[in-house]
Amino acid sequence: MISRPAIDLHTHSTASDGTLSPAELVRAAADAGLDVVAITDHDTTAGWDAAVRALPPGLTLIRGAEISCRWHGVEPAIPLHLLAYLFDPDHPEFVAELARVRLAREVRGERIVELLRADGVDISWPEIMAAAGGGTVGRPHIAAALIRAGLVATTTEAFGADWLGERYRLPKEDVDVFRAVELIRAAGGVPVFAHPRATRRGRIVPDELIVELAAAGLAGLEADHEDHSPAEAAHVRALAAELGLLVTGSSDFHGTHKTVRLGAHTTAPEAYERIVAAASGVTGVASG
């Protein structure tokens, strides 16, 4: 039997809140036996070039990003993530929107740290920014500072209700989800809704929104993901079939910020081919 290629379409590097550099990420992807890996850092394309330069033979790199979005159809608005694949990284309006979101993340991160410090928690924002090393900053970076300070043992604990999950959680200024679909498409990219039924992360959007997003240009749904129960993944697959959307599976690898391993979930070649065929921003890269 000829084995099918192993395709993981959602990973993070130090360009956002992963712990492997883009170069280390692609090497780790090859070591894990992947044939295709996507780099999808939060709200940035900053890791793309380093990943391309370090691409090992036999591995294809899909350049992407995970866009911080919000749906304003309910109050308070619900945050959600869209994966964007193979878009033009120089599309002016999209670039401006991503820069705005990254800056808003810094303002919000500093405010979270101020709240913690007001309660006597001795962590430092400049130190957290330094540790992020120029990557898109997020709560996992604050979680790492809480771990360094000995206040929690794990990232999971830091995301608990007493800490960043609720008590010290502040909203981000994300991109309106319909605007995000429009921008990704305008930049020649392919939008896929990341972990749409991940109830364990917080509130999720209703299926009616996904129907509307499909009509607006959404291409696919991520079904196989560690934050989906088998029933949730099955629901996503059924909804995708109903709407004619493609289905992906992926690890959402974050290095040591999470326990999930590269290739823990994968995408079928047919769905991958549909993404590549629908994209016109940049191409996949294979090392020659």
d(CA 116, CA 164): 10
Nearest in space to 183 (alpha carbons), one of 240, 248, 101: 101
81 binds Fe ion (CB under 5 A): yes
Number of neighbouring beta carbons within 10 Å of residue 175: 23
- What does 196 bind: ligand AMP, Zn ion, Fe ion, none (CB cut-off 5 to 8 Å by kind)? none
Q: Residues 138, 164: contact at Cβ < 8 Å?
A: no
Distance CA 285, CA 209 (A): 33
Our CB check for ligand AMP shows the closer of 37 and 55 to be 37
Q: How far is CA 225 from CA 65, 99, 204, in A?
A: 17, 28, 15
State how far Cα 242 lies from the chain centre.
25
Residues 33-52 that bind ligand AMP (CB under 6 A): 42
Site string for ligand AMP, 210-249 (x = CB under 6 A): ----------------------------------------
**Which residue from 80, 143, 194, 260 is in contact with Fe ion, where contact means CB under 5 A?**
194
- Total residues contacting ligand AMP by CB under 6 A comes to 12
Minimum distance, C-beta of residue 282 to Zn ion, in the bound complex (Å): 22
Binding positions for ligand AMP, 255-274, rule CB under 6 A: 258
CB 281 within 8 A of CB 188: yes
* Contact between 41 and Fe ion per CB under 5 A: no
What residue 201 binds from Fe ion, Zn ion, ligand AMP, none (CB within 5 to 8 A, per partner kind)?
ligand AMP
Contact 226, 197 (CB under 8 A): no
Between CA 117 and CA 151 the distance in angstroms is 13
Kindly indicate which of the ranges 25-33, 96-104, 145-153, 155-163 contains the residues binding ligand AMP, using the contact rule CB under 6 A: 155-163
| Residues at the interface with ligand AMP (CB under 6 A) | 17, 42, 138-140, 155-156, 159, 172, 201, 254, 258
Positions touching Zn ion (CB under 5 A) are: 17
